[in-house]
Amino acid sequence: MTDLWLIFTVLALAVATVVTRCFFFIFDRALPFPRWADRGLRYAPIAALSAVIIPEILVKHGALITNWQDARIYAAAVGAAFYFWRRGQGQAVLGTIVLGMAVYLPLRIGLGW
Amino acid sequence: MFFDPANYKHPSFREGMRDMYPVAPGIWAWGLMTGVAMVQSGLSVEVAAAMTVLVYAGSSQLAATPMIAAGAPFWVVLATAFCVNLRFVVFSIHLRPYLMHWPRWQRLCVGYMTADLSYVMFVKRFPHPAQDRAGQRAELAYLSGNTFLNWVGWQIASLVGVFTASQIPGSWGLGFAGVLALVGVICSLSDTPMRRIAAGVSGAAAVAAVALPLKLNIVVGIAAAVAICLLLERTGLNDKASKA
């Protein structure tokens, strides 16, 4: 019974993924689309990523961090700096990940930040 | 969809995959730690593996697993997943004009596979929906290739995480590689002053609203950034004016 229940829950969560990701193109019905919405959506990609990521870097235990001993700040800063230095030369994003982790892991595992 | 020859034989399919390569290590690390976290928060290996393969939405999996493990009521788990996924509803408005001319089952397949990064890369590569059939096919092929690589990488890494959870300490924080991948992508998107403002406003609002339940701070961040940027556009401080 519990197993069946779990399977049902997992299936429902999969349906939730489909419904949210496809929400406005599931049905063929026409959708009125005001011009301001069209313009506003140009900012949605970067705004969404920023809203996901900035709290992952600056929030700890549900509040803005208050001390500087946090590996995440330095890793993100070094990674972003590398990106802007190498911009347009290919693999800049890959470098952001590798260099950022090279800063993050020693600070976190070594110093416990 | 990646399994349709009209898509995977199209040159745009490879282009979509190519755009995903540089962030792939971040996706692997993130997928791995999501798999580890699901098992460590009390889910059995079988259920965690089923979640990975079927649900395919890291943030909603991570939100739902502790609730399932604690025996929360079904509708609470479902409502949580829905709220955590609300940003995808915003993305779906944006994707609609690119996809509406395809049959519904194709829209649902490709939409299901379109996570954050694929959406961002797709609308960056195709700022305006194509008006002709060839252009529309190129768009669908690109999105299929891009989402396919994301899906394969995530699934393999996440399943490895599920099956090796006891050997990987969560304290290493390997998942931070996923955050760094998004930092890189944000940098690549911030090529105009208005977009940089959008990133700043959204991040600040999401931090300010971090106490909201169900990751609703993400939607607050998006709404704040869009509203403020539209207001700034009306005052004349738009991308064209600032470039001139």
Query: Per-residue pLDDT tens for B42-88?
Result: 889 999 999 999 999 988 998 888 888 888 888 889 988 998 899 99
- Is the pLDDT at B241 greater than 50, yes or no? no
Q: How much is the average pLDDT of A91-99?
A: 87
Residue B238 is predicted with a pLDDT of 54
- Contact (CB, 8 A) for B98 and B139: yes
- Is the pLDDT at B133 greater than 90, yes or no? yes
How does residue A1 score in pLDDT terms, banded at 50, 70 and 90?
very low
CA distance B114 to B22: 18
Listed ranges A18-27, A62-71, B25-34; the one with the highest mean pLDDT:
A18-27
Query: β-pairing, A63-64 with A59-60?
Result: antiparallel
pTM for this structure?
0.86
Per-residue 3-state assignment (H helix, E strand, C coil) for B176-242: HHHHHHHHHHHHHHCCCHHHHHHHHHHHHHHHHCCCCCCCHHHHHHHHHHHHHHHHHHHCCCCHHHH
Q: How much is the average pLDDT of B192-200?
A: 95
Residue A68 is predicted with a pLDDT of 87
Check if A81 contacts B (Cβ < 8 Å). Answer: no
CA-closest candidate to residue A51, choices B123, B107, B215:
B215
CA distance B160 to B60: 19
Asked if B116 lies within 8 A of A52 by C-beta distance, the reply is: yes
* Tokens matching residue B189: 């998107």
Q: How much is the average pLDDT of A100-112?
A: 91
Q: A34-76 pLDDT, tens per residue?
A: 888 888 988 999 999 999 999 999 999 888 998 889 999 999 9
Residue B63 is predicted with a pLDDT of 87
Check if A79 contacts B (Cβ < 8 Å). Answer: yes
SS3 category, A60:
strand
Q: How much is the average pLDDT of B157-166?
A: 93
Angle at the Cα of B125 from the Cα atoms of B121 and B130, rounded to 5 degrees: 125
Which residues in B lie closer than 8 A to residue A17 (C-beta atoms)? 55-57, 60, 81, 85, 112
H/E stretch holding B138 reads helix B133-163
Residue B154 is predicted with a pLDDT of 96
Higher model confidence: residue A87 or residue B103? Answer: B103
Q: How much is the average pLDDT of B105-112?
A: 96
Higher model confidence: residue A31 or residue A46? Answer: A46
Parse chain A into domains and list their residue ranges.
Answer: 2-111
What are all long-range contacts of B230-236, with beta carbons under 8 Å and residues at least 24 apart? B230/A36, B230/A39, B230/A40, B232/B194, B232/B197, B233/A39, B233/B194
Q: How much is the average pLDDT of B102-116?
A: 95
CA-closest candidate to residue A18, choices B57, B6, B165:
B57
Range in A63-77, B166-180, B193-207 with the lowest mean pLDDT: B166-180
Asked if A48 lies within 8 A of B57 by C-beta distance, the reply is: no
Which residues in B lie closer than 8 A to residue A6 (C-beta atoms)? 47, 68
- Could you tell me what percent of chain B has a pLDDT over 70? 95
Residue B42 is predicted with a pLDDT of 85
The per-residue pLDDT of chain B, averaged, comes to: 90
Residue B18 is predicted with a pLDDT of 94
How does residue B239 score in pLDDT terms, banded at 50, 70 and 90?
low
Which residues in B lie closer than 8 A to residue A14 (C-beta atoms)? 54-56
Asked if B207 lies within 8 A of A64 by C-beta distance, the reply is: yes
A20 closest CB neighbour out of B82, B207, B233: B82
- Is the pLDDT at B172 greater than 80, yes or no? no
Q: Identify the residue whose tokens are 């929360």.
A: B72
Residue B243 is predicted with a pLDDT of 45
Which residues in B lie closer than 8 A to residue A13 (C-beta atoms)? 51, 54-55, 57, 60-61, 64, 77-78, 81
Q: How much is the average pLDDT of A108-112?
A: 87
Asked if A45 lies within 8 A of B201 by C-beta distance, the reply is: no
* Tokens matching residue B22: 């540089």
Q: How much is the average pLDDT of B6-13?
A: 92
CA distances from B225 to A7, B172, B199 (A): 39, 33, 7
CA distance B166 to B40: 8
What are all long-range contacts of A63-69, with beta carbons under 8 Å and residues at least 24 apart? A63/B210, A64/B207, A64/B210, A69/A111, A69/A113
B186 closest CB neighbour out of A22, A50, A109: A50
For B126-143, b where at least 16 C-beta lie within 10 A, e where not — what string?
Answer: beebbeeeeebbbbbbbb
Residues 6+ apart with CB under 8 A from B37: B62, B65, B161, B170, B175
A97 closest CB neighbour out of B78, B184, B218: B184
Q: Which residue of B has its CA nearest to A38?
A: B94
Task: Give the bridge partners for A64, in sequence order.
Answer: A59
Which residues in A lie closer than 8 A to residue B26 (C-beta atoms)? 97
